[in-house]
Structure formats: C-alpha cells, structure tokens
Amino acid sequence: MIRADIMSGDLEGGSRLGEANMAERYGLSRTPVREALRRLQSEGLIEALPHRGARVVDWRSLDIAAIYDLRAVVEGFFVRRAAITMPDSEIDRLSGLCDTVERRTAELSLRDPELIDLTAEFNREFHGSIARAAGGEIFAAVRGSVVIGPLVLRTVHDYTREDQQRSNRHHREILAAFRARSPEWAESVMLAHVYSAKTRLLEGREQLLGPASVEAS
C-alpha cells in the first residue's frame, strides 16, 4: 500500500514516513509498517535519515536522461561479452524465466502489486545474470550502481500492455542473439530496450511535472 501511494504520487518525493503516522494511515500496527519500510528501502524507494526516520526518494529530481545514457553504455558492454561467454544452460534457464513472466503478465492486471513485484524481480535476475556472465559478481555490482531502483519500479508501474509486450520481446531477442553468439545483435537489442524505458520514464515525469519543469531539469 505504501509503494502504491509512492508510485501514484499520493506520497510525494521528500515525504517523511514515520512508523506511527504510517500505521495510523493504513490502520495497521507498527510492526508490519516497519517491515514494509525496510523492504522499500532495499528497493530504493525510500531512504533512512539518521535520527529523523525515513522519507520518500524524489526520483523526479534525478537526471533521468543521463542515468539511462550511462546505463546504455554499461549494459551494452555487458551484453556484448555475455553473447560470447554465457553457457547454453544459462540461456535455457533465462528462457524459462521469460516463459513464466510472459504468462503471469498476461494473467495479472496492470499496476497489480504482484505484477510490479514479479516484473521488477525478473528484471533484476535477467539483467543481473547477463552482467555476471560478462564478468562475475563485480560486473553485477557495477550494474547495480547505475540501475536506480525507483526508476525501474516507476517504469514498470507506468507500463501499458504494449510496453510490457515490447519489453518481453526484447528479452526474447537478446536470448536469440546469445544463441547465435552475435554481440552486435545482442547490443542493438539491449540499447533499444534501455532507450525505450528511458523514453517511457521521461514521458511519465512530464505528465507529473509538466514539460517546462522537465526541460528546466
């Protein structure tokens, strides 16, 4: 419920999230609220302030264009290497994950919390596996430093059915490029994947802030 209110803008960037206030807001005890805040912090949606509780991260203040341009460089590099190094067994495993996420996204309604969880977890596993195939855990850590959790969740939250289907097709085509051992093909699809997400997110921010605010940032 807290995540949904953050995504909808009911809890704006910078909003303080005191346990007592959140418990009263949602009619719950403080224990589940405390656990929810810990999870949201691990997802990057909120940040803890020493001696001042937690607050919502203001994703709208981030330089989204620059973050996604950097992500394109990093993910493009990883996917080129993984096209050569990823074993067939791992490609098969990721193909199975694609089967699952495609089936579940067809069954669940848009903005269903379960769908957002499922898609976000799939993205972490799919793209993280590519980074690990490219260079082990150190590459996965590098990827984690340029993939900003609130932006990923915001993108997933705003997805239309067409956006979901396009993303699923990108994942499938990346795996096809891996099977063909074609770094160039894999990179071209990954860049399309990252830049389509960037465009979707910028459109969402413009709807919230207005075009003048987006241009000013």
CA angle 171, 175, 178 (to 5 degrees): 140
Helix (H, G, I), strand (E, B) or coil at 203: helix
Question: How sure is the predictor about 165, in pLDDT bands with cuts at 50, 70 and 90?
Answer: very high
Phi, psi (degrees; rounded to nearest 5) at 109: -80, 155
Instruction: Give yes or no: residues 148 and 78 share one domain.
Output: yes
141 domain-assigned:
yes
Residue 23 domain boundaries? 1-56
pLDDT at 58: 82
**The CATH number of the domain where 41 resides is what?**
1.10.10.10
pLDDT at 14: 87
Arithmetic mean of pLDDT, 97-118:
91
- Give residue-wise pLDDT tens across range 183-204: 999 999 999 999 999 998 888 6
pLDDT at 95: 98
49 domain-assigned:
yes
Residues found in the chain? 217
pLDDT at 216: 42
Buried-exposed string 134-149: b where 16+ CB fall within 10 A, e elsewhere: bbeeebbebbeeebbb
| Percentage of the chain lying above the pLDDT 70 cut | 94
- Max CA separation in the chain (angstroms): 56
Instruction: Give yes or no: residues 96 and 196 share one domain.
Output: yes
Question: How sure is the predictor about 145, in pLDDT bands with cuts at 50, 70 and 90?
Answer: confident
State the CB neighbour count (10 A cutoff) for residue 217.
13
| CA-to-CA dists, residue 53 to 96, 133, 141, 156, 173, angstroms | 41, 38, 27, 27, 44
Indicate whether 210 pLDDT > 60: no
* Total domains, the chain: 2
Please indicate whether residue 45 or residue 90 has the higher confidence score (pLDDT): 90
Distance from the Cα of residue 9 to its chain's centroid: 18
Question: How sure is the predictor about 23, in pLDDT bands with cuts at 50, 70 and 90?
Answer: very high
| Contact by Cβ (8 Å): 168, 102 | yes
Instruction: Give yes or no: residues 97 and 204 share one domain.
Output: yes
Contacts of residue 211, defined as CB under 8 A and 6 or more positions apart, other chains included, come to: none
CA angle 149, 155, 160 (to 5 degrees): 155
Arithmetic mean of pLDDT, 108-123:
88
